[in-house]
A and B are shown apart, each in its own frame.
With several copies, the nearest count.
Chain A
Amino acid sequence: MIDVLYFAWVRERIGLPKERVETQAATVADLVEELKAREARYAAAFADVSALRVALDQELSDFGASLSGVREVAFFPPMTGG
């Protein structure tokens, strides 16, 4: 079980800020494929992963990274702070 969080327009497209996901995905990219296969709203949110960023346990990471030992994955667009 992994906590998956969504922010900004990713959250809006998927329609929720957070969910617990039962997955055996080895990498972030594998998890994204599983989510896209679920429903159209996920496919829409993840249509272009180059427009997305991912954090693993609150550290910026990348889509090739392993999910081994990870408890929290977050997907969001590029940040616009400051």
Chain B
Amino acid sequence: MTVRVQADSFDPGAELAGFASGRTDVGAHVSFTGIVRDDSGQLQHMEIEHYPGMTEKAIAGIVAEAVSRWDLRASLVIHRYGRLAPGEPIMMVATAAPHRTDAFAAAEFLMDYLKSRAPFWKREVTADRAEWVAARDEDEDALGRW
């Protein structure tokens, strides 16, 4: 159960290649990668602020909850902070389980909780302004399904 909070970029392909490899007790790997999207073509960069200390604790708590609910054999959470360019990976979650239903459910659970319960705040910077991303009601509502 690996957790990394870092400013540096990372390579999701290399992370998946190294994840839970060489094991014969898992039949399913699921990965999620979040990427800096630029719908308008105006985004210069994204800035992510976080709460050092609480971030690691919050993620560890979310992972522990996932492990208690599903038959997970390995998990990976990477989340960046600082300045990110459009197209760069923001974060990644990977899960390994004997069966696909557990691997999918755990990955979605981790994502839903990381969205709304891990202390990160995103700001989008364009040529003429910098704006904090507002939390979406749907993201808060998504927690209700677990």
Contact = CB atoms under 8 A, between A and B. Distances in A.
Interface in B85-126: 90-91, 100, 111, 114-123
B117 A79 contact: yes
Interface residues of B, number: 30
Given A7-B49, A8-B121, A80 B54 contact: no
B34 interface: yes
Nearest to A81: B120
B84 to A, nearest CB: 13
Contacts of A80: 115, 120-122, 132-135
A57 B118 CA distance: 14
Contacts of B119: 7, 55, 74, 76, 79, 81
Interface string A26-39: 00000000000000
Contacts, number: 73
B45 interface: no
Interface residues of A, number: 17
A5 B57 CA distance: 17
A76 B100 contact: no
A58 B48 CA distance: 18
A81 B132 contact: no
Nearest to B48: A81
B79 A81 contact: yes
B53 interface: yes
B140 interface: yes
Interface of B: 34, 48-51, 53-54, 57-58, 79, 90-91, 100, 111, 114-123, 132-135, 139-140
Question: Which 9 A-B residue pairs are closest in the complex by CB-CB distance?
Answer: A81-B120, A78-B135, A82-B115, A58-B54, A8-B121, A81-B118, A82-B114, A80-B133, A80-B122
Interface of A: 5, 7-9, 11, 55, 58-60, 74, 76-82
